[in-house]
Chains A and B, each alone.
Chain A
């Protein structure tokens, strides 16, 4: 009757301080919102902000446990997870700070302002767990938590009838893709009889499975991840949801869950498929996906007149760049991905924040309304220009360094055509990013242009992002070392 069981080490829970803080902040914020009712949800804001700051502190302070699993080997807190804890809590801090002055979130017509902060905290905790999962069960559950949270956020924080459609699309696509992924996972379990990534890998090395089955399983699991990171052809929801949701939410979506998806994807594929990468056409598949994703995102972005939608498509293109590091599942490539994720988080968040800050005051996201913004809001526009330069990948901004590492890895592995495709894509992206710069600086300020007033908090948050964007472009050794160490911990 009694099976042989291992009693878990209960003190292991102590390793989950940042996650616990975020989940705790979620609950406290919800309760606080009910107890203290006011015009503005001060309590949830403060609780989640302090929580995110504390999580950021503990992400640095609490050391990774190392190779051994924690609490029964389903999750693992290594330096890789530690890296993503830092990224996610930073993103959360910035988003929460920014949202406080955002009309879209805090405007008078908006309800559930308190829940917004609670959900951000919850999602941050969920993303951290995603980066820690090392077992199929946790893989699925952590992905579902983040997905469910984003459905809720996209579902009720919407601006128009059109975005209702977007959020429905989001849910349906999400359900289908996670269903496909689950099916792939069950096939994988059937082949190996294992649930942990390491166990699956060992079983696959010991008893190789035929190529076709392996490929089908790969594609199915890729569908789940592809949806999460908005990779072509699983990207359809992305522009609609980003456009429909309030901009701070889009900013958070475009950075947080995407990075979390990459984290889980890296851990899963690197652990499971790295030894057998040569037996399947993995590099070719990833190379094609990467090329198609970046080309699609960039080409469609060129035609956009709505800045937010433009940024949404450009974020698809960035997924294409990121996938370049995934080619041969070499540590070098993955380190490049991690570093680029860090850079991408900073610069993309910044660009979205600018759009939101401007929208606050002129109530528009149309490119044509950005005319002369460089002179109507000089400091904010300068920061936006830094973000744009970085997104293009021009020196001396951080994006250049991120791309530098990715391209170097691609070339080292001998995929020259992919590097050329990536470079040509950068040229396309230059064109549309510079459309924004062009509107801001080269076009005359219209006579009837409304005055642009940017909240002090928005200046602070944008500066919080612009400064690292520049610094990472000139001196990045320390940060690259953190990314390198994260992969070395595997």
Chain B
């Protein structure tokens, strides 16, 4: 049963991932991304990482993806104007991808992983909370700085530039 569910989620993740990459229609691609993210959330849930699964759903699907779709819809890129990658680029890219896949496959198959015994699922939220405020207090605080920077950086980058842009257009 557990295996069945795992394969279901895995298949969903991989297939929709393929679709994201190969779809010509950017809206479709955005929607398939949702399934990819959802599949990953499912895998987290299966591993007993309930907090991660919820976060994945809320942040990525509820937040990031919605924003992506908003942007896609507002910019109205005509479907036929998508940049086409030529055939002779696809071949090396394909070979390279297969090669990387083979290597990673071999590594994952050939390594003895440090596997933990499966315990009964347990709610992890409070545990994570405690860890974050004790053992991981430094990265926790540090993350706030990173987020602050991300916010300020985004604001700086987005803010309209007057003089510089004019010069750039001319040059």
Contact = CB atoms under 8 A, between A and B. Distances in A.
Interface of A: 1-3, 5-8, 23, 30, 70-72, 74-75, 109-112, 115, 122, 125, 129, 137-138, 141-142, 144-145, 148-149, 151-152, 155-156, 158, 160-161, 164, 187, 190-193, 203, 207, 209-210, 212-213, 216-217
Contacts of A149: 149, 153
A216 B101 CA distance: 12
A447 to B, nearest CB: 28
B156 A115 contact: yes
B113 interface: yes
Contact of A160 (B137, B139, B143, B171): B171
Interface in B122-161: 126-127, 130-131, 134-139, 142-143, 145-146, 149-150, 152-153, 156-157, 159, 161
A115 B136 CA distance: 30
Interface in B31-66: none
A187 B106 CA distance: 12
A74 B139 contact: yes
Nearest to A137: B139
B138 A138 contact: yes
A363 to B, nearest CB: 14
A138 B113 contact: no
A190 B135 CA distance: 21
Contact of B157 (A141, A145, A155, A187): A155
Contacts of B126: 1-2
Contacts of B149: 122, 145, 148-149, 152
Interface stretch (B16-24, B67-75, B83-91, B162-170): B162-170
A30 B127 CA distance: 36
Nearest to A203: B114
Interface of B: 103-104, 106-108, 110-114, 116, 126-127, 130-131, 134-139, 142-143, 145-146, 149-150, 152-153, 156-157, 159, 161-164, 167-168, 171
B168 A161 contact: yes
A111 B110 contact: no
Given A72-B134, A115-B156, A191 B113 contact: yes
A138 B139 CA distance: 6
B146 A191 contact: no
A5 B131 contact: yes
A233 B35 CA distance: 35
B123 to A, nearest CB: 8
A152 B156 CA distance: 8
28 contacts: A3-B130, A5-B131, A6-B134, A8-B135, A72-B136, A74-B135, A74-B136, A138-B138, A145-B142, A148-B146, A148-B149, A148-B153, A149-B149, A152-B149, A152-B153, A152-B157, A160-B168, A187-B107, A187-B108, A190-B111, A190-B114, A191-B111, A191-B114, A193-B116, A209-B112, A210-B110, A212-B106, A213-B107
Given A187-B107, A216-B107, A193 B114 contact: yes
Nearest to A5: B134
B137 A8 contact: yes
A192 B149 CA distance: 33
A23 B148 CA distance: 11
Contacts of B142: 129, 138, 141-142, 145
A3 B127 contact: yes
Contacts of A193: 114, 116
A151 B134 contact: no
Contacts of A137: 136, 139
Contacts of B131: 3, 5
Nearest to A217: B107
B83 to A, nearest CB: 14
B146 A144 contact: yes
Contacts of A187: 107-108, 111
A207 B112 contact: yes
Given A164-B168, A209-B111, A212-B106, A151 B153 contact: yes
Nearest to B109: A213
B130 to A, nearest CB: 5
A158 B163 CA distance: 12
A1 B152 CA distance: 38
Contacts of B136: 72, 74, 137
Contacts of B156: 112, 115, 152, 156
Contacts of A216: 103-104, 107
Contacts of B130: 2-3, 5
Contact of B135 (A5, A111, A161): A5
Sorted from nearest, which 9 A-B pairs have the closest CB atoms?
A: A193-B114, A152-B153, A72-B135, A213-B111, A213-B107, A109-B163, A71-B138, A161-B168, A5-B134
A5 to B, nearest CB: 5
B147 to A, nearest CB: 10
Given A112-B159, A187-B107, 5 more contacts: A71-B137, A122-B145, A152-B156, A187-B108, A187-B111
Nearest to A180: B100
Contacts of B145: 23, 122, 125, 145
Contacts of A209: 111-112
Contacts of B153: 148-149, 151-152, 155
Contact of B138 (A74, A112, A125, A212): A74
Contacts of B163: 109
B164 A212 contact: no
Contacts of B167: 109
Nearest to B113: A190
Contacts of B107: 187, 212-213, 216-217
A141 B143 contact: yes
A447 B134 CA distance: 69
A109 B164 contact: yes
A170 B142 CA distance: 23
